Protein backbone atom coordinates (compact mmCIF):
# COMPACT_ATOMS: atom_id res chain seq x y z
CA UNK A 1 0.00 0.00 0.00
CA UNK A 2 1.39 3.43 -0.96
CA UNK A 3 2.14 6.17 1.55
CA UNK A 4 -0.76 8.28 0.31
CA UNK A 5 -3.16 5.33 0.50
CA UNK A 6 -2.12 4.52 4.06
CA UNK A 7 -2.57 8.15 5.05
CA UNK A 8 -6.04 8.24 3.50
CA UNK A 9 -7.10 5.04 5.27
CA UNK A 10 -5.76 6.33 8.60
CA UNK A 11 -7.66 9.61 8.17
CA UNK A 12 -10.84 7.71 7.35
CA UNK A 13 -10.36 5.54 10.45
CA UNK A 14 -10.07 8.70 12.55
CA UNK A 15 -13.38 9.93 11.11
CA UNK A 16 -15.09 6.60 11.84
CA UNK A 17 -13.76 6.49 15.41
CA UNK A 18 -14.83 10.08 16.02
CA UNK A 19 -18.38 9.27 14.88
CA UNK A 20 -18.40 6.05 16.93
CA UNK A 21 -17.16 7.94 19.99
CA UNK A 22 -20.01 10.45 19.69
CA UNK A 23 -22.52 7.60 19.36
CA UNK A 24 -21.11 5.85 22.45
CA UNK A 25 -21.37 9.07 24.44
CA UNK A 26 -25.03 9.35 23.44
CA UNK A 27 -25.62 5.70 24.37
CA UNK A 28 -24.09 6.34 27.78
CA UNK A 29 -26.42 9.29 28.37
CA UNK A 30 -29.50 7.30 27.30
CA UNK A 31 -28.42 4.41 29.55
CA UNK A 32 -28.31 6.78 32.53
CA UNK A 33 -31.81 8.04 31.70
CA UNK A 34 -33.12 4.48 31.43
CA UNK A 35 -31.47 3.64 34.76
CA UNK A 36 -33.32 6.49 36.49
CA UNK A 37 -36.56 5.62 34.65
CA UNK A 38 -36.36 1.97 35.73
CA UNK A 39 -35.60 3.03 39.31
CA UNK A 40 -38.61 5.36 39.39
CA UNK A 41 -40.90 2.65 37.99
CA UNK A 42 -39.60 0.12 40.51
CA UNK A 43 -40.35 2.54 43.34
CA UNK A 44 -43.87 3.11 42.03
CA UNK A 45 -44.42 -0.61 41.66
CA UNK A 46 -43.46 -1.59 45.21
CA UNK A 47 -46.43 -3.45 46.63
CA UNK A 48 -48.45 -2.91 43.45
CA UNK A 49 -50.30 -5.73 41.71
CA UNK A 50 -50.78 -3.78 38.46
CA UNK A 51 -49.58 -6.00 35.61
CA UNK A 52 -49.04 -3.05 33.26
CA UNK A 53 -46.71 -1.33 35.74
CA UNK A 54 -44.72 -4.50 36.38
CA UNK A 55 -44.43 -5.10 32.63
CA UNK A 56 -43.24 -1.51 32.02
CA UNK A 57 -40.62 -1.88 34.75
CA UNK A 58 -39.37 -5.19 33.32
CA UNK A 59 -39.20 -3.72 29.80
CA UNK A 60 -37.23 -0.70 31.05
CA UNK A 61 -34.72 -2.97 32.79
CA UNK A 62 -34.42 -5.17 29.68
CA UNK A 63 -33.95 -2.12 27.44
CA UNK A 64 -31.16 -0.84 29.67
CA UNK A 65 -29.42 -4.24 29.70
CA UNK A 66 -29.66 -4.44 25.89
CA UNK A 67 -28.25 -0.92 25.63
CA UNK A 68 -25.30 -1.86 27.85
CA UNK A 69 -24.57 -4.83 25.57
CA UNK A 70 -24.62 -2.58 22.49
CA UNK A 71 -22.36 -0.10 24.28
CA UNK A 72 -19.90 -2.88 25.13
CA UNK A 73 -19.81 -4.06 21.50
CA UNK A 74 -19.23 -0.50 20.31
CA UNK A 75 -16.41 0.02 22.81
CA UNK A 76 -14.77 -3.24 21.70
CA UNK A 77 -15.06 -2.18 18.06
CA UNK A 78 -13.43 1.17 18.84
CA UNK A 79 -10.49 -0.53 20.57
CA UNK A 80 -10.05 -2.86 17.57
CA UNK A 81 -10.03 0.12 15.19
CA UNK A 82 -7.44 1.85 17.37
CA UNK A 83 -5.17 -1.22 17.30
CA UNK A 84 -5.56 -1.54 13.53
CA UNK A 85 -4.68 2.12 12.98
CA UNK A 86 -1.56 1.75 15.15
CA UNK A 87 -0.39 -1.24 13.11
CA UNK A 88 -1.25 0.53 9.86
CA UNK A 89 0.71 3.73 10.50
CA UNK A 90 3.51 2.25 12.61
CA UNK A 91 6.19 4.30 14.36
CA UNK A 92 9.78 5.41 13.81
CA UNK A 93 11.61 5.85 10.49
CA UNK A 94 12.01 3.74 7.41
CA UNK A 95 9.77 2.91 4.49
CA UNK A 96 6.17 1.94 4.13
CA UNK A 97 3.88 2.11 7.16
CA UNK A 98 6.70 3.10 9.50
CA UNK A 99 7.55 6.13 7.38
CA UNK A 100 3.94 7.23 7.33
CA UNK A 101 3.82 6.95 11.11
CA UNK A 102 6.86 9.21 11.36
CA UNK A 103 5.41 11.90 9.10
CA UNK A 104 1.97 11.83 10.71
CA UNK A 105 3.25 12.40 14.24
CA UNK A 106 2.98 16.13 13.55
CA UNK A 107 -0.71 15.70 12.76
CA UNK A 108 -2.19 14.38 15.99
CA UNK A 109 -5.67 12.95 15.37
CA UNK A 110 -8.51 15.03 16.80
CA UNK A 111 -9.30 14.15 20.39
CA UNK A 112 -12.66 12.56 21.03
CA UNK A 113 -14.51 12.19 24.28
CA UNK A 114 -13.62 9.05 26.17
CA UNK A 115 -16.33 6.42 26.20
CA UNK A 116 -18.22 6.23 29.51
CA UNK A 117 -16.83 3.67 31.98
CA UNK A 118 -19.42 0.88 32.18
CA UNK A 119 -18.28 -0.07 35.69
CA UNK A 120 -19.41 3.36 36.93
CA UNK A 121 -22.98 2.78 35.76
CA UNK A 122 -22.87 -0.79 37.09
CA UNK A 123 -21.65 0.38 40.52
CA UNK A 124 -24.43 2.98 40.78
CA UNK A 125 -27.02 0.37 39.81
CA UNK A 126 -25.65 -2.09 42.37
CA UNK A 127 -25.80 0.58 45.07
CA UNK A 128 -29.41 1.34 44.13
CA UNK A 129 -30.18 -2.31 44.82
CA UNK A 130 -28.32 -2.23 48.17
CA UNK A 131 -25.09 -3.89 47.00
CA UNK A 132 -22.19 -1.79 48.32
CA UNK A 133 -19.32 -3.92 47.06
CA UNK A 134 -16.12 -1.81 46.97
CA UNK A 135 -15.31 -0.13 43.65
CA UNK A 136 -11.67 -0.45 42.61
CA UNK A 137 -9.71 1.48 40.01
CA UNK A 138 -9.18 0.05 36.55
CA UNK A 139 -5.63 -0.86 37.67
CA UNK A 140 -6.52 -2.46 40.97
CA UNK A 141 -4.73 -1.45 44.16
CA UNK A 142 -6.29 -3.22 47.13
CA UNK A 143 -5.25 -0.36 49.43
CA UNK A 144 -7.53 2.05 47.59
CA UNK A 145 -11.25 1.65 47.03
CA UNK A 146 -14.52 3.55 47.10
CA UNK A 147 -17.91 2.61 48.55
CA UNK A 148 -21.07 4.48 47.63
CA UNK A 149 -24.73 4.81 48.50
CA UNK A 150 -27.35 6.50 46.32
CA UNK A 151 -30.85 7.91 46.68
CA UNK A 152 -32.32 7.91 43.18
CA UNK A 153 -35.53 9.58 44.27
CA UNK A 154 -33.60 12.66 45.42
CA UNK A 155 -30.87 12.23 42.78
CA UNK A 156 -28.07 12.30 45.35
CA UNK A 157 -25.39 9.97 46.66
CA UNK A 158 -22.27 9.86 48.82
CA UNK A 159 -18.81 8.35 48.50
CA UNK A 160 -16.41 6.90 51.05
CA UNK A 161 -12.78 6.71 49.90
CA UNK A 162 -10.22 4.49 51.63
CA UNK A 163 -6.53 4.82 50.78
CA UNK A 164 -3.03 5.72 51.98
CA UNK A 165 -2.74 9.08 53.76
CA UNK A 166 0.44 9.80 51.82
CA UNK A 167 1.56 8.38 48.48
CA UNK A 168 4.23 6.10 49.99
CA UNK A 169 2.66 5.77 53.44
CA UNK A 170 1.47 2.55 55.03
CA UNK A 171 -1.05 4.49 57.12
CA UNK A 172 -4.53 4.20 55.63
CA UNK A 173 -7.14 6.92 55.99
CA UNK A 174 -10.86 7.21 55.33
CA UNK A 175 -12.60 10.19 53.77
CA UNK A 176 -16.24 10.88 52.86
CA UNK A 177 -17.63 13.45 50.48
CA UNK A 178 -18.61 16.88 51.75
CA UNK A 179 -21.72 18.61 50.44
CA UNK A 180 -24.74 20.56 51.58
CA UNK A 181 -26.25 19.58 54.95
CA UNK A 182 -29.43 17.54 54.49
CA UNK A 183 -32.67 17.86 56.42
CA UNK A 184 -33.03 15.61 59.47
CA UNK A 185 -36.22 14.01 58.12
CA UNK A 186 -34.53 12.82 54.92
CA UNK A 187 -33.58 9.12 54.77
CA UNK A 188 -29.91 8.50 55.63
CA UNK A 189 -27.22 7.42 53.21
CA UNK A 190 -25.16 4.50 54.48
CA UNK A 191 -21.44 3.86 54.37
CA UNK A 192 -22.31 0.28 55.34
CA UNK A 193 -25.97 -0.71 55.18
CA UNK A 194 -25.39 -4.04 56.90
CA UNK A 195 -23.77 -2.37 59.91
CA UNK A 196 -26.12 0.66 59.76
CA UNK A 197 -23.13 3.02 59.52
CA UNK A 198 -24.46 6.29 58.17
CA UNK A 199 -22.73 8.95 56.14
CA UNK A 200 -22.63 12.38 57.83
CA UNK A 201 -25.66 14.55 57.01
CA UNK A 202 -23.40 16.81 54.95
CA UNK A 203 -21.89 14.06 52.77
CA UNK A 204 -24.44 14.06 49.93
CA UNK A 205 -23.51 15.20 46.42
CA UNK A 206 -25.59 15.24 43.19
CA UNK A 207 -25.70 11.92 41.32
CA UNK A 208 -23.96 13.36 38.27
CA UNK A 209 -21.12 14.55 40.53
CA UNK A 210 -20.94 11.09 42.13
CA UNK A 211 -20.62 9.49 38.68
CA UNK A 212 -17.92 12.01 37.75
CA UNK A 213 -15.99 11.21 40.93
CA UNK A 214 -16.26 7.46 40.32
CA UNK A 215 -15.03 7.92 36.75
CA UNK A 216 -12.04 9.94 37.98
CA UNK A 217 -11.21 7.35 40.65
CA UNK A 218 -11.48 4.49 38.17
CA UNK A 219 -9.08 6.33 35.87
CA UNK A 220 -6.49 7.57 38.40
CA UNK A 221 -6.85 5.28 41.42
CA UNK A 222 -6.56 8.38 43.60
CA UNK A 223 -9.01 10.35 45.74
CA UNK A 224 -11.08 12.32 43.18
CA UNK A 225 -10.52 16.06 43.03
CA UNK A 226 -13.87 16.91 41.45
CA UNK A 227 -15.64 16.69 44.84
CA UNK A 228 -14.88 17.99 48.33
CA UNK A 229 -13.82 15.61 51.12
CA UNK A 230 -13.76 15.42 54.90
CA UNK A 231 -11.87 13.04 57.20
CA UNK A 232 -13.93 10.19 58.61
CA UNK A 233 -11.55 8.09 60.71
| pLDDT tens digits along 35-68 | 777 677 666 666 666 777 777 777 777 777 777 7
Question: What is the predicted pLDDT for the residue at 28?
Answer: 73
Kindly tell me if the per-residue pLDDT of 159 is higher than 90.
yes
| Cα–Cα separations (whole angstroms), residue 23 to 16, 78, 82, 89, 225 | 11, 11, 16, 25, 28
Mean pLDDT, the chain, integer:
79
Query: Which range among 15-24, 51-60, 133-142 has the greatest average pLDDT?
Result: 133-142
Give burial (CB, 10 Å; 0-12/13-18/19+) of 114: exposed
**Cβ within 8 Å of residue 73, ≥6 positions away:** none
Q: Rounded CA gap, 117 and 211, in Å?
A: 10
**What are the pLDDT digits (tens) for 164-197?**
888 777 788 999 999 988 888 999 999 999 899 9
Task: Dump pLDDT digits (tens) for 107-128.
Answer: 555 554 555 567 888 889 899 8
What pLDDT sits at residue 95?
40
**pLDDT score, position 4:** 64
Query: Which pTM value belongs to this model?
Result: 0.52
User: If DSSP codes are grouped into helix, strand and coil, which group holds residue 214?
Assistant: helix
The answer on pLDDT for 162 being more than 70 is yes
Amino acid sequence: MSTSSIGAVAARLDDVRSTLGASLTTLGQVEEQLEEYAGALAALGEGSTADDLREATALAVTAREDLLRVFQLGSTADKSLERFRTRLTGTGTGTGAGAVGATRTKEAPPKKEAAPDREVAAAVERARKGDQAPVHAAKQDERRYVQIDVDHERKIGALCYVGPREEDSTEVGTWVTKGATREQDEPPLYIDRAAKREFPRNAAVPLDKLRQALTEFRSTGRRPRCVDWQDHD
